[in-house]
Structure 1
Amino acid sequence: MPQSIHFISMGGSAMHNLALALQKQGHTITGSDDTIYEPSRTRLQQYSLLPAEMGWFPDKINTGLDAVIVGMHARKDNPELAKAIELGLPIYSYPEFIYQQSQEKQRIVIAGSHGKTTIAAMILHALKYHNRIFDYWIGDPIDGFDTTVQLSSTAPLIIIEGDEYASSPIDSRPKFLHYKPHIALISGIAWDHINLYPTWDEYVDQFESLAEAMPKAGILIFDESDDMLDVIGQKERDDITKVPYFPHPEKVIDGQTYLITKQGKQIPIQLFGQHNLKNIAGAMTVCDRIGITEEQFYEAIPSFKGVSYRLEKIAESGNRIVYRDFAHSPAKVEAATEAVKQQYPSKELIAMVELHTFSSLNKAFLDQYNATMNAADEAVVFIDTKTLADNHLSLITTEEVKAAFDHKNLHVFTDAATLQDYLRTKQGKKDQIFLLMSSGTFDGMNVKAVADELTHY
């Protein structure tokens, strides 16, 4: 039955995709936000959902609404949220709403500090390849899917990427605790989000809670090579099936990675790196539990292109290649750097990371990056000083960065123009691989243009 649903802070990636999906179902959607960036702005405009003006308008909240969905960008004192509370309207965070819409489905949740988007995308790719009916919720756009969410009344299962961020301004619980998964995969645990979880123990406790909250007859799938996750995964729990996995066997021939099956067959894939071999093993394990056999998975995986910004090749010419990656946390930086070096051992690797997030710019967290870029022949760290100022964090000095990373050949930059000038000195050389890692923009630097310059000689 169609409902009238209002979104508070509808411009976020997750929120605007949910708004589009619900409108597609026939619901009446309204929303507000104080700022909406691209691509959310254009997409909302295309479907006549872009608010007429930016800001918060309590008059939009009335007793005719069936539900209010509030995003994390809103503050606790948001005037629309206050009005919804005053009227006693049903208020949901988006994970709560996703659960409400999927109570009759088999819920598969992919969690973990890293790899969850790629694992979920692999599962979606395999299901789509074999024409299965399914719903999904995933954090980033992936090839072959128009939106990051699909909700229907017909799909028997839903694949959900579940993160450990707080659910809403009025609900500090991790999002993944709302989903109550029948099958949960945890890909690995590496401390992150120091602003939410100031200590390692507090961070690990969130994943412990996910495992403890699983319903009876649930299936917990986990990376057994992760020491902390192995402790959580192997703990005795009534009526929970524990399924560990290890990296998938592989072989690299002339820069091409092949999966080696139990029968000795070689399956070419478009991904590489030890972390992706773990991702593949995890995805295969989930697929086996939802009706996709090993043979069917191997048939589908060669055409999987990966996820944008995850070791994405953006420029290549001769023996020079540029990759970009979303890596920003220490574990992701280390995994991406090692993956590229292992794939191209004879080439010089220049790895660059932007310290952009609250955690990465926090001096108390900086030592977590120790030795994470040691696989690179040359390392570059870019500090987003604007983000430092916006978050009222203390200035990080070049000496502090060098001491934390402990790399023998490391350069530190705080200005995008100076960084680009430095990269231009690398033009004209051969047999080099560049890895640009960030969840930001290197202070607005045109990464694609820089990549084209680096591969032009």
Structure 2
Amino acid sequence: MRKKKYYLIGIAGVAMASIAGLLKKKGHEVVGSDQDVYPPMSDMLRTLKIPVFAPYNVLHVKTARPNIVVVGNAVGRGNPELEYVISNGLLYRSMSDILREEFIEQKKAVVIAGTHGKTTTTALVAWILETAGFDPSIFVGGFMRNINSTFKLGKGKYIVLEGDEYDTAFFDKGPKFWHYRPFIGLVNNIELDHVDIYKDLDAIKFAFGRFINLIPKNGLLTVSCENKNSLVLSQKMAKSPISTFGISAGDWTAKNIKYSDQYISFDAYSNGHTISDIRTKLIGKYNISNTLGAIAIVKFLKIPDAKIKKAIETFEGVKRRQEIIGEKNRITVIDDYAHHPTAVRLTLDAVRQRFHMKLNTGRLICVFEPGSASSKRRVFEKHYIESFGHADLVYLYKPFKAQSLQKRETFNGKYVSSQLNKLHTLPTGRQVKSWNFNDLKPMLLHMKRQFKPGDVIVIMSCRGFDGLYKQIWEVL
């Protein structure tokens, strides 16, 4: 291998920091820059001894003198470092290009895609392969708690990747997963999202259709029966064999489901074959479905049932996916990444089920920051009203960095709160109470007066929410 020097513009994002780590582990020299650098990625990059410059400055690139510049998808024209790269004819590539060229082309890619659930499912498939001795390479959009990392460079022939449908770079507006050459692909669900780049559901379907069509005839497409868009599109576009899954319908289904305070147990069933008494620490019915999808993949790879069961039972999940921060004064705090209305609803229902919250035995409190390109727009407001109705108390915070949006297209927390306060018929049998805030300090003061023993607080944000969970922890 010829050692190269890579310079990553926008290195502090999860995907870019992960590719930086993979390149470093492979033996390349890696350096990068970003406008701001925060934990946990700053900690990971420091541990890897990868130099990071902030903020952006042309001198950083000049001094580094890289062979290849990797441009993050959040970096656009006008960025001073990018302008220098283009003006001086430096070789630049996308993160997805480098991931394919340096890591995927030498291996067989297992790519997990879908609007929701792909991070957890990717991590679970990777962990099953890891514990079964496959020594896979791993690239996932969150910190796997079992390996305390977002990536791993393995010596085995498989690489397990999270297939992101978001755009690739300023010069390549196609989705990242078109670059990943899937040998095995999973499509969990397809819904409208990323409305800043997809004009409608048909545009999303087109992206996923092309991904499905990339899987070779000797590979496998695994698809959920619980999402009509996924199933119909797969049947239309797939050239590979298809294995379906779903709790009640599909090639792999779940039977004898039992919920407890510590785990969910079920039997996985397929065409007369049963894997009995599977236990997972993951919460929510939808994670049974995610687990079935993972099982469909690893059985295709002929992993024995006993190893599958052991891996699922020891799987610790992904940080910021229904992550229980802790309990203080009989109040539980959970940190979660949910930002799409469907993910919000499923997460709230899963938390309610796990903690058995019923009338007068505790309240489910949702604290939400619209931070993604879709959630800070008005397009999903009606869906959010329905989803937040699955909580008891709802705190809405101002949209993150929405200054570029016109007022008429920006998420209106005041309106959503007012509509929530009108709801009466709820799963809990009580009326929702909701408030909207533009500043953290008054929101925290208001929360402090509301909290009482038995409450479960779910903080939902696709970014750091200014460390809100730590501040809540302090006022409990």
Structure 2 length-normalised TM: 0.85
Do the aligned partners of 2:417 and 2:436 also contact (CA within 8 Å) in 1? no
Aligned to 1:365: 380
Do the aligned partners of 1:61 and 1:84 also contact (CA within 8 Å) in 2? no
User: 1:34-433 counterparts in 2 under 5 A?
Assistant: 34-51=35-52, 54-57=55-58, 60=61, 65-85=66-86, 89-101=90-102, 102-151=104-153, 154-235=155-236, 237-238=238-239, 240-247=240-247, 248-249=254-255, 250-253=257-260, 256-262=263-269, 265-316=276-327, 320-343=331-354, 344-346=356-358, 347-352=361-366, 353-376=368-391, 378-385=392-399, 387-389=401-403, 391-394=405-408, 396=412, 398-403=414-419, 407-408=423-424, 409-414=432-437, 415-429=439-453, 431-433=454-456
Do the aligned partners of 1:33 and 1:56 also contact (CA within 8 Å) in 2? no
Determine the C-alpha separation between the residues in 2 that align with 1:77 and 1:389: 18
Where does structure 2 lack aligned partners over 5 or more consecutive residues? 248-253, 425-431
Do the aligned partners of 1:351 and 1:373 also contact (CA within 8 Å) in 2? no
Determine the C-alpha separation between the residues in 2 that align with 1:131 and 1:301: 15
Query: Following TM superposition, by how much is the alpha carbon of 1:183 offset from its aligned partner in structure 2, in angstroms?
Result: 0.7
Structure 1 length-normalised TM: 0.88
Query: Following TM superposition, by how much is the alpha carbon of 1:149 offset from its aligned partner in structure 2, in angstroms?
Result: 2.4
Is the partner of 2:182 in helix, strand or coil? coil
Query: Following TM superposition, by how much is the alpha carbon of 1:228 offset from its aligned partner in structure 2, in angstroms?
Result: 1.1
Is the partner of 1:300 in helix, strand or coil? helix
Query: Following TM superposition, by how much is the alpha carbon of 1:282 offset from its aligned partner in structure 2, in angstroms?
Result: 0.9
Determine the C-alpha separation between the residues in 2 that align with 1:59 and 1:6: 9
Aligned to 2:470, which of 428, 448, 457? Answer: 448
Describe the shift of the 1:79–1:110 C-alpha distance in structure 2 as closer, same or farther (beyond 3 A): same
Is the partner of 2:55 in helix, strand or coil? coil
Aligned AA for 1:271?
L
Query: Following TM superposition, by how much is the alpha carbon of 1:208 offset from its aligned partner in structure 2, in angstroms?
Result: 1.6
Do the aligned partners of 1:350 and 1:432 also contact (CA within 8 Å) in 2? yes
Determine the C-alpha separation between the residues in 1 that align with 2:395 and 2:350: 19
Determine the C-alpha separation between the residues in 1 that align with 2:288 and 2:48: 39
Aligned AA for 1:105?
K
Is the partner of 2:334 in helix, strand or coil? strand
Query: Following TM superposition, by how much is the alpha carbon of 1:388 offset from its aligned partner in structure 2, in angstroms?
Result: 3.1
Identity of aligned residues (%): 25
Do the aligned partners of 2:262 and 2:281 also contact (CA within 8 Å) in 1? no
Describe the shift of the 1:86–1:448 C-alpha distance in structure 2 as closer, same or farther (beyond 3 A): closer
Do the aligned partners of 2:365 and 2:455 also contact (CA within 8 Å) in 1? no
Aligned AA for 1:366?
E
Do the aligned partners of 1:362 and 1:393 also contact (CA within 8 Å) in 2? no
The reply on whether 1:11 has 2:12 as its aligned counterpart is yes
RMSD of the alignment, in Å? Answer: 2.9
Determine the C-alpha separation between the residues in 1 that align with 2:457 and 2:328: 12
Is the partner of 2:396 in helix, strand or coil? strand
Count of matched residue positions in the alignment of Structure 1 and Structure 2: 449
Aligned AA for 2:50?
L
Structure 1 residues 78-87 or 192-201, which shifts more?
78-87
Query: Following TM superposition, by how much is the alpha carbon of 1:357 offset from its aligned partner in structure 2, in angstroms?
Result: 2.6
Determine the C-alpha separation between the residues in 1 that align with 2:264 and 2:53: 50
Structure 1 residues 90-99 or 58-67, which shifts more?
58-67
Is the partner of 1:210 in helix, strand or coil? helix
Query: Following TM superposition, by how much is the alpha carbon of 1:242 offset from its aligned partner in structure 2, in angstroms?
Result: 1.0
Determine the C-alpha separation between the residues in 2 that align with 1:295 and 1:145: 21
Query: Following TM superposition, by how much is the alpha carbon of 1:159 offset from its aligned partner in structure 2, in angstroms?
Result: 0.3
Is the partner of 2:144 in helix, strand or coil? coil
Query: Following TM superposition, by how much is the alpha carbon of 1:325 offset from its aligned partner in structure 2, in angstroms?
Result: 1.4
Is the partner of 2:387 in helix, strand or coil? coil
Aligned AA for 2:458?
L
Determine the C-alpha separation between the residues in 1 that align with 2:314 and 2:110: 23
Do the aligned partners of 2:4 and 2:28 also contact (CA within 8 Å) in 1? yes
Do the aligned partners of 2:109 and 2:161 also contact (CA within 8 Å) in 1? yes
Where does structure 1 lack aligned partners over 5 or more consecutive residues? none
Determine the C-alpha separation between the residues in 2 that align with 1:307 and 1:292: 23
